[in-house]
Amino acid sequence: MKQTALLFDLDGTLVDSVPDLAAAANRLLAELGHPPLDPKEVAGMVGDGVAKLVERVLAARGAREIATDEALRRFVALYEANAATLTRPYPGVAAGLDALAARGFRFAICTNKIERATRLVLEGVGLARFFPVMLCGDSLPTHKPDPGPCLAALARLGVPPEAAAMIGDHRNDVLAARGAGIPAIFARYGYGLATLGALRPDAMIDRFDELPGVLEVLSSQ
């Protein structure tokens, strides 16, 4: 069946958010008296939600002198104050979404990022208009790799799984798509290639502008 709905991960798929995530992480570490992390280190920590990110940041610097819950609250405050300061859409994203929307595709966000931060990023980079539906890391009791957020997003769009595809840059996206019964398109340009392991997505893209061609191939299969 031809795909008519597309579920998108956010960080590493639509936007390069590591500069702002790393800045917040390093502000937190500085407050604790620890040296900063390289943004490339932070990129490898993204994909499992903010709690895991903060846990990994603290572990990387052996920062155990603060309760994780307190550190999480502080990180969220630091990040949300500048969630779209350095974050930018990947090349071709806005134009690509416009072109796909003109062809009748409907979109939803399916991310492990918390909802307030997701909204701040989408509004800050000018992409909010594309996404009337968002399932975030705190929207449901479960998050990716559980398929629940994908299925909930499709229910809100009113689209069956067989008419959808998931685009993301992390193994969680592939696993969530598989569990929901939808094709998984892997964004190799993002942060999560090393997480893929032996998983085999239905397709891969190296640039966002390759997505329409991949969708044509999937719809013909």
Query: Which active-site residues does the annotation give?
Result: 9
What is the distance between the alpha carbons of residues 88 and 93, in angstroms, rounded to a whole number? 10
Question: Diameter of the chain by CA atoms?
Answer: 56
DSSP string computed for 187-206: ETTSS-GGG-TT---SEEES
What is the distance between the alpha carbons of residues 37 and 82, in angstroms, rounded to a whole number? 18
What is the distance between the alpha carbons of residues 135 and 55, in angstroms, rounded to a whole number? 23
Q: What Å distances lie between residue 159 and 11, 167, 221, CA to CA?
A: 24, 16, 19
